[in-house]
Amino acid sequence: MAANLLNLSSSFTPSIQSLPRNPNFTQFISVPTPKTNKSLIQSKIREIFMPALSSTMTEGKIVSWAKSEGDKLSKGDSVVVVESDKADMDVETFYDGYLAAIMVEVGGVATVGSAIALLAESEDEISEAKAKAANSSASSSQYPSPPSDVVTETVTTPPPDPTPVATAAAAVAKPVTVASTHPASEGGKRVVASPYAKKLAKELNVDLNKLVGSGPTGRIVAKDVEAAAASRAVGVETGKASAAKVVSDSAGIELGSVVPFTTMQNAVSRNMVESLNVPTFRVGYTINTDALDALYKKIKSKGVTMTALLAKATALALVKHPVVNSSCRDGKSFTYNSSINIAVAVAMDGGLITPVLQYADKVDIYSLSRKWKDLVDKARAKQLQPHEYTTGTFTLSNLGMFGVDRFDAILPPGNGAIMAVGSSQPTIVATKECRIGVKSQMQVNVTADHRIIYGADLAAFMQTLAQIIEDPKDLTF
């Protein structure tokens, strides 16, 4: 995904007239004062702002600069990779020019709307731009926001296909030379890795040149970096030569250290605190899964996942109980959502994200499984687009694969309900014939917004869900 946002500022004071905005671009034109007909040729130094890459983003972190100071830029070039609260995204330029001054270095954090770099129109203006940057606030995150009469526009485009041509692979100022062509490089000139893998490698002090990527066409991903870090004991020096910090060999974690939240952890923290303002209640239900397990074994070879089966079953149950798929955002009304979009929680390094299976009730199980695999891959590479993780109407959280038999989930903001799914386990039960038998059963607990969903609503929904799972013939149609 790419975000385009540049703002025009100038050293002279012409009147500024904004052209009518269209949905894709924002342009500005400098109009000479009416006192003279002589054309004015003035320098243009534009500011590159920290974009708002999601509705909840208040600040962003610089993952890498794709260009260096002094590099020439063309319209549409990727300039910098920014870490939002959920993904890493490229920021592109609307204008031709030169990257004159970088105001926020790699690893730095800036608030949305603050300047992170300056773009000069010509090489002659680079020195002027550097002077402006030097005179700005020492803290980039405190750099003044754009004036009220200047508009910035964020334009999102689909993320690039994960091929060896990485959009931010040129984040280092100097090219890295290697002895031979690396599987994840373009002719040995540069290592191709995901932005998050690069950031993780820097944090864990892992040399990317020595890694062989497991991603598409040899691209290095986060798990490759983690595996390299886990294969050795990481020694961390302290300020005193005689002291040594205790480090976890498995993850490179410095025990006893204080670690600030990442951008994603900050977003999760805000959402969890917001959830405390919603009155919730919980209902549990036991569901027999023998028939579902048999169906899963039958179609697993076709690429079907248990997550997709559970999402499909949940979506079909929500069709009959639309109030459980509703949402309340203002505390005064609620909305019967027009589509059933199942968000599924996925654990990530240092956070949590909920990719969304849109129209899960209408998509066949095979397409749904393929879509889910694609979403998980993009989530782990931090390449999800905002609509792929912000449009959920009901959330599913499954910890059954870890052997967890039951748990309660916290209601995400904007959802009416979230369902926590435990593992399916053989259980001794009494049959209708008063005999002892063994059935595979799983526990599901649903947390709901009590302002719009009541106990009877949830109980009826869970009865329907149990019927679908215990007789899953409709899941494959």
**What φ, ψ does residue 181 adopt, rounded to 5°?**
-70, 125
SS3 374: helix
Residues 6 or more apart whose CB falls under 8 angstroms from that of 446 comprise 282, 283, 284, 285, 417, 418, 419, 420, 458, 461, 462
Q: Which residue has the tokens 């748990």?
A: 407
Q: CA-to-CA distance for 448 and 394, rounded, in angstroms?
A: 10
**What φ, ψ does residue 184 adopt, rounded to 5°?**
-105, 40
Cα three-residue angle 469-473-475, rounded to 5 degrees: 70
Q: Provide the 8-state DSSP code for 11.
A: S
Contact in structure between 392 and 341 (CB atoms under 8 Å): yes
Residues 6 or more apart whose CB falls under 8 angstroms from that of 332 comprise none
Q: Provide the 8-state DSSP code for 247.
A: B
Contact in structure between 94 and 154 (CB atoms under 8 Å): no
Q: CA-to-CA distance for 225 and 240, rounded, in angstroms?
A: 29
182 noted as active-site residue: no
SS3 40: coil
Contact in structure between 446 and 395 (CB atoms under 8 Å): no
Residue 188's nearest CA partner among 180, 198, 197, 196 is: 180
Contact in structure between 92 and 24 (CB atoms under 8 Å): no
Contact in structure between 444 and 438 (CB atoms under 8 Å): no
Quickly count: other Cβ atoms within 10 Å of residue 129's Cβ.
24
Catalytic residue among 182, 321, 387, 450: 450
**What φ, ψ does residue 428 adopt, rounded to 5°?**
-80, 125
SS3 25: coil
**What φ, ψ does residue 293 adopt, rounded to 5°?**
-60, -40
Between 455-470 and 306-320, two packed helices, what is the crossing angle to 10 degrees? 130
Write the single-letter amino acid at 127.
S
Contact in structure between 218 and 212 (CB atoms under 8 Å): yes
* Ramachandran sector of residue 108 (left: φ over 0; alpha: ψ -120 to 50; beta: rest): beta
Sign for the pseudo-dihedral over CA of 22, 90, 352, 354? positive
Catalytic residue positions, numbered = 450
